[in-house]
């Protein structure tokens, strides 16, 4: 279950990274990803 959640958050992070590639949201998405990994 943990592994499935991890890969799911990875997919979301990659999607967000690709979507916000041309914007300044890289730091924001990185922070959210870090918080998710902490939980």
Count the alpha carbons within 13 Å of 28 in the hemisphere toward its beta carbon.
Answer: 8
- Structural domain boundaries in the chain: 2-38
Whether residue 17 is predicted with pLDDT greater than 50 in this model: the reply is yes
DSSP 28: H
Taking the C-alpha atoms of residue 17 and residue 11, their distance in angstroms, rounded to an integer, is: 10
The distance in angstroms from the start CA to the end CA of the chain is 14
Q: What is the mean pLDDT of residues 13-35?
A: 70
Whether residue 39 is predicted with pLDDT greater than 70 in this model: the reply is no
Whether residue 7 is predicted with pLDDT greater than 70 in this model: the reply is no
Whether residue 5 is predicted with pLDDT greater than 60 in this model: the reply is no
Whether residue 1 is predicted with pLDDT greater than 50 in this model: the reply is no
């Amino acid at each position: 279950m943990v592994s499935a959640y991890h890969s799911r958050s990875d997919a979301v992070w990659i999607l967000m990274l690709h979507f916000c590639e041309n914007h300044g949201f890289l730091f924001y998405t990185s922070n959210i990803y870090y918080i998710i990994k902490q939980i």
